[in-house]
């Protein structure tokens, strides 16, 4: 399996085939997304942020758009001047021969077929195609598809009108984390794991907000004109504490999903998350 397959719908526990397991499913299966309730046409070329590789607690609340893979040759133009993709709508990086672009609602963009670009009017022998109820739309490149999508898709519009991150509110929520985790650990000793899981979900939601709001990333082109600029590495270098917290959530989530939970291991993992949150708060938010 290639690297870009690992975070796809074909390996997702919510694909209607894997029944809660994070494994590669047989390609000739009836794939159905349990998170967004739609038939998955190409499971090994479809992606979203609910995949456990980007969703450590396996949350089923939809996060961001669904992405389809097209050939990297469509990543051939920059966005027009002034067009910005919100950070949470920048697709996860795939393997070199594919590029990821978002679904329009639940309609999958395809590639092939000659047409005239709906954005710039350029005629191309091969285009990105969107089959809508009343018409076909053609796009010469991933950038021009994105430009059209950002103005028309309800998900894109929702993210563009979101208010900036309220740093005071985030600081307050971060300060409340240790107490919430302590309460969770007290009931964990009685065999109750739900309180801990709820507290971890709150942390996970908060991390999503921080990553998408605090990072002042103005990504002005789908096609980066700086080859050395690597988006995932850029995120990873922002805060080692965020990585510690994210890693801790993955470990704790795995322990909590087991049929016979190891309460001591869960307690140790949750304690480490609390320490990492405390370090993150002191080093990056209390100044």
Mean pLDDT (the chain) is 82
Cβ count within 10 A of residue 260: 4
Cβ count within 10 A of residue 82: 6
- Give residue-wise pLDDT tens across range 170-197: 888 888 988 889 888 888 878 888 889 9
In angstroms, how far apart are the furthest CA atoms of the chain? 67
Give the residue among 64, 36, 55, 234 at the shortest CA–CA distance from 149: 64
Q: What is the pTM of this model?
A: 0.78
- Give residue-wise pLDDT tens across range 60-85: 889 889 999 998 888 888 888 888 77
Domains and CATH numbers, the chain: 167-284 (1.20.120)
- Find out whether 60 and 34 touch, Cβ atoms under 8 Å: yes
Work out the pLDDT band at 94, boundaries 50, 70, 90.
low
Work out the pLDDT band at 19, boundaries 50, 70, 90.
confident
pLDDT value for 4: 46
C-alpha torsion 91→92→94→97, nearest 10: 10
Mean pLDDT of 86-102: 78
């Amino acid at each position: 399996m290639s690297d870009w397959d690992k975070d796809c719908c074909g390996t997702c526990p919510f694909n209607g085939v894997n029944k809660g397991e994070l494994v590669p499913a047989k390609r000739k299966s009836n794939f159905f997304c349990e998170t967004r309730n739609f038939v998955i046409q190409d499971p090994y070329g479809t992606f979203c942020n609910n995949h456990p590789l980007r969703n450590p607690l396996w949350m089923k609340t939809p996060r961001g758009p669904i992405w389809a893979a097209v050939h990297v040759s469509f990543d051939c133009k920059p966005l027009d001047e002034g067009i910005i993709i919100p950070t949470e709508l920048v697709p996860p990086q795939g393997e070199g021969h594919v590029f990821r672009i978002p679904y329009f609602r639940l309609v999958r963009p395809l590639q092939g077929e000659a047409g005239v670009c709906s954005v710039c009017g350029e005629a191309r022998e091969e285009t990105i195609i969107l089959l809508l109820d009343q018409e076909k739309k053609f796009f010469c490149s991933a950038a021009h598809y994105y430009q059209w999508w950002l103005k028309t898709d309800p998900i894109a519009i929702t993210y563009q009108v979101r208010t900036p991150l309220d740093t005071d509110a985030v600081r307050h929520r971060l300060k409340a984390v240790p107490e919430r985790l302590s309460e969770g650990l007290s009931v964990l000793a009685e065999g109750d794991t739900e309180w801990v899981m709820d507290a971890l979900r709150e942390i996970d939601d908060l991390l999503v907000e921080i990553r998408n709001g605090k990072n002042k990333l103005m990504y002005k082109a789908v096609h980066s004109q700086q080859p050395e600029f690597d988006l995932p590495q850029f995120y990873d270098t922002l805060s080692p504490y965020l990585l510690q917290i994210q890693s801790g959530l993955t470990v704790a989530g795995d322990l909590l999903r087991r049929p016979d939970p190891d309460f001591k291991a869960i307690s140790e993992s949750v304690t480490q998350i609390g320490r990492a949150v405390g370090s993150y708060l002191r080093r990056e938010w209390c100044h």
